[in-house]
A and B are shown apart, each in its own frame.
Chain A
Amino acid sequence: MVKKLSRSVALVGVGMSKFGAFPEKNSRDLFVEAFQELRQSVQKGFDPKEIEAFYMGNFSSDHFENQAHLAPIVASWAGLSPVASTRIEDACASGGVALRQGVLAIASGDADVVLVGGLEKMTDLPGPKVTDALALAADSLFEIPAGFTFPGFYAAMATAYIDQYKADPDALLNVAIKNHQNGALNEKAQFNQTISQVMDGKRRKAIQKDLPVPEWEDEMAFMKDPKANPMIAWPLRLFDCSPVSDGAAAVLLVSEELASKYTDHPIFVVASGQASDGSLAERESLSSIPAAEKASRHAYTMAGISPEDVDFAEVHDCFTIAEIIACEDLGFFPRGEAWKAAMEGQTARTGSHPINTSGGLKSKGHPVGASGVGQAVEVWKQMHGIAGERQLSGKLRYGLTHNVGGTGQTCVVHIFENRN
Chain B
Amino acid sequence: MTEKSLNTKEFHQAIAQDILIGSRCLNCGKISIPQRQICPNCHSEQAERIEAKGLGNLAAFTVIYVPTTSMAEAGYNSKNPYCVGIVSLEEGPRISAQIINLDLSDPATIEIGLALKQTFTIRGEGDSAKKYLAFEPA
Contact = CB atoms under 8 A, between A and B. Distances in A.
Interface of A: 128-129, 131-132, 135, 141-149, 151-153, 155-160, 163, 230-236, 278-282, 286
Q: Which of A144, A231, A281, A282 has the most CB of B within 10 A?
A: A281
A147 B64 contact: yes
Contacts of B133: 145-146
B80 interface: no
B69 interface: yes
Interface string B72-85: 10001010011011
Contacts of A148: 64, 68, 84, 96
B64 A235 contact: no
Given A230-B78, A234-B107, A159 B61 contact: yes
Contact of A147 (B8, B60, B82): B82
Given A142-B96, A159-B112, A286-B86, A151 B61 contact: no
A279 B68 contact: no
A231 B65 contact: yes
A146 B98 contact: yes
B112 A147 contact: no
Given A155-B62, A280-B86, A281-B86, A143 B96 contact: yes
A234 to B, nearest CB: 4
Contacts of A143: 96
B96 A149 contact: no
Contacts of B65: 230-234
Interface in B62-109: 62-72, 76, 78, 81-82, 84-86, 93-98, 107
Contact of B69 (A132, A141, A145): A132
B34 A142 contact: yes
13 contacts: A128-B72, A146-B96, A146-B133, A147-B68, A148-B84, A149-B64, A149-B66, A151-B62, A231-B65, A233-B63, A234-B81, A235-B107, A282-B94
A282 B88 CA distance: 10
B6 interface: no
B84 A156 contact: yes
A232 B86 CA distance: 18
Contact of B96 (A157, A163, A279): A279
Contacts of A278: 40
Given A128-B72, A147-B98, A286 B60 contact: yes
Give the 10 A-B residue pairs with the shortest CB-CB distance, closest first.
A155-B62, A146-B96, A160-B60, A156-B60, A234-B63, A234-B107, A163-B112, A281-B94, A147-B84, A233-B62
Contacts of B64: 147-149, 151-152, 155, 232-234
A155 B62 CA distance: 6
Interface in B87-138: 93-98, 107, 112, 132-133
A280 B107 contact: no
B62 A135 contact: no
Nearest to A164: B112
Contacts, number: 108
A152 B78 contact: no
Contacts of A144: 68, 70
Contacts of B71: 147
Given A132-B68, A142-B34, A286 B84 contact: no
A236 B65 CA distance: 10
Contacts of B93: 281-282
B55 interface: no
Contacts of A128: 68-69, 72
Contacts of A131: 66-69
Nearest to A283: B94
B59 interface: yes
B95 A147 contact: no
A129 B63 contact: no
Contact of A232 (B34, B66, B95, B98): B66
Contacts of A230: 65, 78
A156 B68 contact: no
A280 B97 CA distance: 12
Interface in B29-76: 34, 40, 59-72, 76
A145 B122 CA distance: 11
A144 B132 CA distance: 11
Contacts of A135: 68
Given A156-B86, A234-B107, A281-B94, A286 B66 contact: no
Contacts of B72: 128
Contacts of A280: 86, 96
B34 to A, nearest CB: 6
